[in-house]
Amino acid sequence: MERPTWAPQGIDLSVPSVSRVYDYYLGGSHNFEVDRITARRALEAFPGIPKIVQANRAFMRRAVRYAVECGVTQFLDIGSGIPTFGSVHEVARQAAPDARVLYVDNDPVAVAHSRAVLRGVPGTGILTADLREPEAILASREARELLDPRRPTALLLVAVLHYLDDEEKPHERVAALRDALAPGSLLVLSHASADNGPGTAEQCGQVVEVYRDGGSRLVLRAESEVARFFEGFEPVDPGLVPMGRWRPDGQIEDEDPMAFSGIVGVGRKA
């Protein structure tokens, strides 16, 4: 298989990546044929996935604007993926030109493309690291240089925790990050779930199987399990809701039902 010129050396082109599959859903070009095969299989089972990921990005942008309105101007985006239009630094710096953003991902393509996009952009950085090792993220040179631990930070865990199963202790990983945040910090979280949205149990099961076949986990947690990630945070109104219902910009009556899949929320550390 021919390696694209933008692909870092050492990547196994025969193994799909959740970041690159997500990029395909968003209409991006930084994905390989193996990623496209996985994505097409998932779309056969559940054709509404692109609308879901678009709604997820829209939630993220609204939450970033909310954070800036609250005076929070530094952001730690873990599982940031491959940059697309309307990324965190673009939204944040539009409202607060001095905003600082540290992106974190474990996919080499996501990191390489982020580094290219962020070159020359002040107040931004990219770190190769994994949510499963929060201490390494917090102790990194990039975090020390970009983020002031004495000031509130918006911790973004957007569409990433559902790739960790319970054996990987995702709640403990989030708690470790929470404990390092200053009072007034925010947790911005979105998570795949079968609790709401138009997808049937069969469709959800088929998508989970597609990801499993590609070597990745996809855990559709119940709302009660997602709520546990917010322990130590005070919920921001309207609490845990489907994506399209978190502080929508306008009317939501005519929204595609897919926009109400998944569970999202924002919490504030006291």
CA 76, 156, 75, 82 torsion-angle sign: positive
- The full set of domain ranges for the chain reads 18-269
The pLDDT of residue 228: 98
Instruction: Please check whether residue 217 is in contact with residue 211, taking contact to mean a CB–CB distance below 8 angstroms.
Output: yes
Please state which CATH class domain 18-269 belongs to: alpha beta
Query: Which tens digit of pLDDT belongs to each residue from 119-174?
Result: 999 999 999 999 999 999 999 999 999 999 999 999 999 999 999 999 999 999 99
Torsion of CA 56, 5, 120, 124, to 10 degrees: 40
| pLDDT mean across residues, the chain | 93
Could you report the per-residue pLDDT of 175-190, keeping only the tens digit for each?
A: 999 999 999 999 999 9
pLDDT given for residue 1 in this prediction: 54
- Answer yes or no: is pLDDT of 31 > 60: yes
Integer Cα distance of 95 and 228 in angstroms: 31
* pTM given for the model: 0.94
Give the pLDDT confidence score for residue 196 in this predicted structure: 78
What pLDDT does residue 252 have?
61
